[in-house]
């Protein structure tokens, strides 16, 4: 990772730059308005709703709706700061926990006040992040008991039911739904599982109410691939992807993998796509966790899709038969396409699976694999067809399943 910077009109109002300090700089956080009293929780909740803050964990669910649902549930709630990034191409959550732990903890204590929770947890797998959070907790003990819970890193470990299961002492693997954590979560209590960027933005909204619209309307985005430097950027929603590509050295890109591995591949027209949930969804993609991987013109999208599905198949929790068989079949078939072994009916088989498989697993892993196949066929049908009978040079090597093509180190 070689860069962390803001593209906001005034970087002082974002999460990456001043005034909020990094690491254990408690004095800087306090000077910027951090840990300010909350005399009227309802007023902050109304502000969160008014500016339309959406969750930053991937789904983009309205934060105020989630907070109110937990607040109104029966029984004393629990709040969880979820910092377990499963997407190999995303670094924002680990960066925040390592460098802005007080900002995340401030947001966690505000979420507790908004929901009436009496206990909190910070959930993560990253050792440096855990150390930074523990140091911050020691510097300023929170208003409520907060535990740091470690999990083994995996693609599915950050899924909300996996978070609850691990905190309760089990493995970090998803469970069937319902119930969802807001109904019955940690210890059976209504539980708010909130992404750490979401919580950090709640903290800034409280400390700097005049900047509420700007704070709610910006995203932390990890950009990688296409031969340019990998960077963590804070950017205003709606910024065209071509701006991000050009400013970060990815201007030669011929395509983009959206939203980590969840948003699928996008070819012609990707430069004009706006960086926001609605715009990308309308184009058949997804913002997800805000990770964008650019493909060079010489990169083969078939190879990228084959590697991504192989990684997802390897990361399956192996609890749902349809996920094990579905991701395995997609990975095997796309691997065969990459090797030039596709038959006349291979594309149609992939297309049928991409329609039938989504929604059938306990988490979104199977959906991500199916969407990768669907978008490959939708945006690159000629490239898929060209692999019948012969592999292209970019697909000559065996398909790895370790996700190394998409992995970005934390700055």
Give 271-300 pLDDT, tens digit per residue: 999 999 999 999 999 999 999 999 988 899
Nearest-angstrom CA–CA distance, 240 and 273: 5
Residue 13 binned pLDDT confidence (cut-offs 50, 70, 90): low
> Which one has a higher pLDDT value, 120 or 11?
120
Residue range 255-271: mean pLDDT, rounded: 92
Nearest-angstrom CA–CA distance, 173 and 363: 9
pLDDT on residue 54: 96
DSSP, residue by residue, 28-65:
HHHHTTTT---S-HHHHHHHHHHTT-B-SSSS--BHHH
pLDDT on residue 75: 87
- In whole angstroms, how far apart are CA 272 and each of 222, 253, 267, 288? 18, 13, 11, 18
The model's pTM is 0.95
Residue 242 binned pLDDT confidence (cut-offs 50, 70, 90): very high
Residue range 304-310: mean pLDDT, rounded: 95
pLDDT at 388 over 60: yes
pLDDT on residue 393: 79
pLDDT on residue 7: 85
pLDDT on residue 368: 94
pLDDT on residue 203: 96
pLDDT at 22 over 60: no
Contact call for residues 338 and 391 (beta carbons, < 8 A):
yes
Q: 176-190, 212-226, 307-321, 384-398: lowest mean pLDDT where? A: 384-398
pLDDT at 21 over 50: yes
Nearest-angstrom CA–CA distance, 331 and 325: 10
Residue 128 binned pLDDT confidence (cut-offs 50, 70, 90): very high
Quickly tell me which residue has 């979401």 as its tokens.
198
Residue 1 binned pLDDT confidence (cut-offs 50, 70, 90): very low
Q: Average pLDDT over the chain, rounded to whole? A: 91
Residue range 58-72: mean pLDDT, rounded: 94
Residue range 206-226: mean pLDDT, rounded: 91
pLDDT tens digits, one per residue of 341-358: 888 899 999 999 999 999
For residue 323, what is the enclosing H or E element?
helix 321-338
CB neighbours (10 Å) of residue 35?
Answer: 20
Residue 398: name the closest of 332, 316, 314, 301 by CA: 332
pLDDT at 2 over 60: no
Is the dihedral angle over the CA atoms 270, 272, 276, 281 positive or is it negative?
A: negative
């Amino acid at each position: 990772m070689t860069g962390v910077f803001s593209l906001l009109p005034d970087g002082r109002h974002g999460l990456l730059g001043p005034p909020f300090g990094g690491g254990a700089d408690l004095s800087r956080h306090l000077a910027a308005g951090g840990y300010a009293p909350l005399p009227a929780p309802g007023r902050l909740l109304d502000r969160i709703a008014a500016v339309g803050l959406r969750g930053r964990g991937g789904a983009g669910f309205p934060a105020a709706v989630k907070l109110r649902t937990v607040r109104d549930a029966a029984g004393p709630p629990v709040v969880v700061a979820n910092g377990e990034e499963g997407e190999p191409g995303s670094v924002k959550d680990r960066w925040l926990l390592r460098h802005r732990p007080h900002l995340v903890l401030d947001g966690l204590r505000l979420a507790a006040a908004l929901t009436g929770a009496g206990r909190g947890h910070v959930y993560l797998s990253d050792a440096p992040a855990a150390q930074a959070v523990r140091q911050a907790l020691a510097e300023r003990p929170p208003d409520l008991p907060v535990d740091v819970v470690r999990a083994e890193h995996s693609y599915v470990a950050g899924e909300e039911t996996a978070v609850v299961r691990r905190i309760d002492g089990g493995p970090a693997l998803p469970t069937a739904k319902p119930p969802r954590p807001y109904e019955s979560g940690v210890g059976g209590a209504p539980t708010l599982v909130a992404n750490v960027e979401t919580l950090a933005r709640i903290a800034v909204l409280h400390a700097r109410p005049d900047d509420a619209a700007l704070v709610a309307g910006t995203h932390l985005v990890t950009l990688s691939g296409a031969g340019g430097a990998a960077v963590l950027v804070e950017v205003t929603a709606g910024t065209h992807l071509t701006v991000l590509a050009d400013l970060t050295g990815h201007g030669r890109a011929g395509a983009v993998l959206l939203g980590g591995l969840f948003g699928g591949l996008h070819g012609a027209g990707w430069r004009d796509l706006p960086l926001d949930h609605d715009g990308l969804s309308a184009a058949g993609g997804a913002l997800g966790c805000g990770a964008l991987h650019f493909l060079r013109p010489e990169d083969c999208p078939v190879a990228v899709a084959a590697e991504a599905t192989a990684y997802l198949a390897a990361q399956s929790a192996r609890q749902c038969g349809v996920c094990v068989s579905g991701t395995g079949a997609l990975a095997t078939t796309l691997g065969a396409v990459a090797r030039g072994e596709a038959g006349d009916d291979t594309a149609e088989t992939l297309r049928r699976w991409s329609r039938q498989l989504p929604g059938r697993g306990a988490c979104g892993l199977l959906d991500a694999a199916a969407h990768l196949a669907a978008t490959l066929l939708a945006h690159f049908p000629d490239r898929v067809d060209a692999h019948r009978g012969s592999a292209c040079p970019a697909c000559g090597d065996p398909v790895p399943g370790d996700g190394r093509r998409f992995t970005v180190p934390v700055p």
